[in-house]
Amino acid sequence: MKNYKMDLDKVKNALLWIQSILERADVPYQIVGGLAAYIYGAQRPIADIDLYIPKEDVAKLEQELAPYISKPLTHYLEGEWDLEYLQLIYQDQKIEIGLVPGVKIRNKDGDWVNQNIDFTTSVMSEFEGVRVPLMPKTQLIQYKTLLARDVDLFDIQAID
């Protein structure tokens, strides 16, 4: 259990770091994925911090994020994902920043489904005392239902 607590501290520190950069640059963002599921009640280790930002705002962040980039900003077509994103490592914590619009998820039938991310619908919530904007719960459930990986099905069951 001690290691799990340390992981939460690592996530919190990375979240505070990226949040401060985004807020200083006045870039809206929305937390999605496993961290959002955790905040809504799924109790499993958090692998990474997934978030979306508007595509037009990424240039505001490039200089400050550059030393932490582990996967450069480009268009990726990987598994269930078709999107532009970059990956950062901050104090051993992975952070993935996807750019919207343009995110597509492959559903279990193999079809690509466009994701409409609306930052104005974000739900403010807390993770370890840090207030963050989350993808709305119903949208997160739809998102994870499309992906339908084991981890997503676990999250859906835990938060639905």
Domains of the chain, first to last: 2-159 (3.30.460.40)
Tell me the whole-structure pTM to 2 decimals. 0.92
What 8-state DSSP symbol labels residue 129? Answer: T
Q: Above pLDDT 70, what percent of the chain?
A: 96
- Residue 66 burial (C-beta neighbours within 10 Å; 0-12, 13-18, 19+): exposed
- Residue 5: which pLDDT band, with cuts at 50, 70 and 90? low
**Residue 130 main-chain phi, psi, to 5 deg:** -100, 120
Q: Which of 2-6, 61-65, 139-143 has the highest mean pLDDT?
A: 61-65
